[in-house]
Amino acid sequence: MELLHVLLAASYILLVSFSQSSSMCQGKTVPYMTPDVTQISGRSFDYIIVGGGTAGCPLAATLSERYSVLLVERGSSPYENPFVLDKRFYGFPLFQTNEFSSVSQSFISKDGVSNLRGRVLGGSSAINGGFYSRASDAFVRRAGWDEELVKESYEWVESKIVFKPELTKWQSAVKFGLLEAGILPYNGFSLEHVEGTKMGGTVFDHDGRRHTSADLLETGNPDNIVVLLNATVKNIIFHKKGTENEKTVHGIRFVKSDGNVSQTYEAYLKQLENSGSWGDVILSAGALGSPQILLLSGIGPKRHLKNFGIPLVLDFPEIGQEMIDNPSISVLVESDPEVQLPDPPQIVGIADDFKFIVQGLILPISINATIIPIAIKFAFPASKGKLELNSTDPRQNPSVEFNYLAKEKDMKECIKMVQLVERVARPKSIAGFLGKEHYSNSKSPRELREFCKKNVRTFYHYHGGCAAGSVVDNDYRVHGVKRLRVVDGSTFLESPGTNPMATLLMLGRFFHKKVGGIKEMVTEGNQLVQSKMFFIPQLIRWQLDVKHGKRFSQKHLEGTKINGTMFD
């Protein structure tokens, strides 16, 4: 009952403190947030970002430096929820998984494995373990990213919301357990993805407060960002004009997350004749949300869309393919009464040429009990699955199958994982913290295979569905569609580094600095040319008779207009 008393007292203090201020941080200027869909309906923006998650928030903040941005989040704000922000409540949001309003939404894959997705401003960065570690240099090179710009973008994130943790008693034991199991060398504190044992960064500060990706909105221009909460995007709106092979996005259609799905609202992109932004709708709704929205919008496999009565916009069989989750195996043990408070991971072991990632943490299983998983994931599975629609209701989870361990190669790696995690749990530095084990060590290869089949779990690092190359190009543009991009983990071909959070945070910043910088150079270059050698003509009488009241324009428009001239 000691844990119960501590947490109830902490909850009371936090509820009082949060009721005194609903802003992100006192003294900070924050963007306008509203759950009122009628305030947004009918308005136009340079950019519309669908999903206020790990990548969406830094992306919105960076774009707002020059452009107007609408950020649409299907969940609520994290700033009045102590179960999200306080480290002592780490893991508790994982139990609040009702269908339409909880900060985490549960789903079960067709493989029968329970899983979760974030449904709150900040996305998974608001409910995960907060462990921060960059992607490997090899991952960055394979992605074709500018390494210097990637480094600058990581550093920008780290200067805002990343901290060096103070090791708890349990995490110190995990460190020695990993080293005794042979996961060497010890690399100390490092944000790099290096083989051996290390201490990573954390988004929990020294007062135990979680800093999510939503905090990065403070760095943007508050006059240029509008955050719409509790709104779920139903589908993308397209211009009626356009060729059969290439469509142009006009805006989005959305519903209240807790409302009637037949009552819809719309928001639009500013048109090029009224804005020089070249703006887009950017899907940042995650590995489940982004492919789901494309399917609901009529972009996907023709036969599948026909089954749900969705009008075809673009036959795109690759949407929803390449779904990958990292298989995980855990040693689950009841925690010693002395270490009952929840404890997120701070130490990680990276072994066998970066294939295996090992962590130890303490998770609540009820208000007054915790459990210790020593968990290991396989970083590069060969088995892949797919995502399809379950319903045309955008608030419901799609159907997803990951095909865990379907490839024999993955099964062999799972057997190695079981053997490694048992070695980590065996040293004296770990054993003193552990109570009764939930399973006995397996011996024979056959027993190990059966154990893997029955006990494979998720590490919550699933990705794919809008894979880079087959669905989006190097600038994250969806093939065959103008003014539509996807910037999130659905584009990943593998999970980066120890976990994807750091790289998704970086990607939100990196995307605009990479793509937006090109746009700014073109725009500024055009303005320079126009300022030096471009003039508005004085119409002669005959030209006045022809124009019939049309206006001067620099743009290529249908109809009659006045062109510029290089004659002064």
Q: Give 10-residue mean pLDDT values along the chain (568 residues).
A: 41 39 50 96 98 98 96 96 92 77 92 96 97 97 96 98 96 95 97 98 97 98 98 94 75 96 97 67 99 99 98 98 97 68 95 97 84 94 98 97 98 96 86 60 84 96 98 97 97 94 98 68 42 47 44 53 57
Domains and CATH numbers, the chain: 24-162+206-323+384-400+460-533 (3.50.50.60), 166-199+327-380+405-455 (3.30.410.40), 536-568 (no CATH)
- Retrieve residue 62's tokens: 């960076």
pLDDT, residue 244, reads: 62
Beta strands in 178-298 (DSSP E): 186-189, 196-199, 201-202, 225-228, 231-238, 247-256, 265-269, 281-283
Cis amide leading into 185 (omega within 30): yes
Bridge-based pairing of strands 363-366 and 347-351 is unpaired
Asked if 304 is an active-site residue, the reply is: no
Bridge-based pairing of strands 327-335 and 186-189 is unpaired
Give the Cα-Cα-Cα angle 417, 142, 56 (nearest 5 degrees): 85
417: how many CB neighbours lie within 10 A of its CB?
A: 27
pLDDT, residue 366, reads: 78
Indicate the SS3 state at residue 514. helix
Element of type H or E holding 289: helix 286-296
* Cβ(225)–Cβ(31) below 8 Å: yes
Which whole-number Å values give the CA distances from 549 to 321, 379, 390, in the listed order? 53, 64, 53
Bridge-based pairing of strands 44-45 and 265-269 is parallel
DSSP assigned state of 262 = T
CA dist 122 and 80 (Å) reads: 13
Predicted TM-score (pTM) of the model is: 0.87
Adjacent-strand bridge partners of 472: 468, 478
* Cβ(357)–Cβ(350) below 8 Å: yes
CA dist 377 and 417 (Å) reads: 8
For residue 460, give the nearest of 49, 71, 93, 78 by alpha carbon.
Answer: 93
Phi, psi (5° rounding) for residue 334? -70, 135
Element of type H or E holding 335: strand 327-335
* Cβ(118)–Cβ(224) below 8 Å: no
Contacts 24+ apart (CB under 8 A), 432-437: 432/173, 432/336, 433/170, 433/173, 433/335, 433/336, 433/339, 433/372, 434/333, 434/334, 434/335, 434/336, 434/372, 435/333, 435/334, 435/335, 435/336, 436/333, 436/334, 437/331, 437/332, 437/333
* Cβ(321)–Cβ(470) below 8 Å: yes
pLDDT, residue 546, reads: 43
Which distant-in-sequence residues (6+ apart) come within 8 Å of 359 by Cβ? 129, 131, 174, 345, 347, 348, 349, 374, 375, 376
Bridge-based pairing of strands 386-388 and 399-401 is antiparallel
pLDDT, residue 536, reads: 47
* Cβ(198)–Cβ(167) below 8 Å: no
Element of type H or E holding 44: strand 44-45
| Residue among 193, 211, 250, 461 flagged as catalytic | 461
Which whole-number Å values give the CA distances from 388 to 100, 290, 322, 485, 551, in the listed order? 20, 12, 12, 20, 49
**Type of residue numbered 60:** A
Element of type H or E holding 420: helix 408-425
Give the Cα-Cα-Cα angle 278, 283, 285 (nearest 5 degrees): 155
pLDDT, residue 96, reads: 73
Which distant-in-sequence residues (6+ apart) come within 8 Å of 528 by Cβ? none
312: how many CB neighbours lie within 10 A of its CB?
A: 14
